[in-house]
Amino acid sequence: MAAVAGKLMNSLKSKEFREYLASTHFWGPVANWGIPLAAIADTQKDAAMISGKMTLALSLYSIMFMRFAWRVQPRNMLLFACHFTNECAQLTQGGRFINHHYLGGKEKEESSS
Tens digits of residue pLDDT in 78-94: 999 999 999 999 999 99
Residue 62 Rama label (left phi>0; alpha psi -120 to 50; beta): alpha
Across 34-38, 101-105, 109-113, least confident range: 109-113
pLDDT at residue 61, rounded to an integer: 96
Indicate if the pLDDT at residue 113 is higher than 70: no
User: How far is the C-alpha of 90 from the C-alpha of 78, rounded, in Å?
Assistant: 18
Each residue of 24-38: pLDDT tens digit? 888 988 999 999 999
Query: Does the pLDDT at position 110 exceed 80?
Result: no
Instruction: Give alpha helix (H) positions in the chain.
Output: 2-12, 15-21, 24-32, 34-42, 52-71, 77-102, 105-112
pTM for this model (two decimals): 0.81
Distance CA 68, CA 63 (A): 9
Biggest alpha carbon distance in the chain? 63
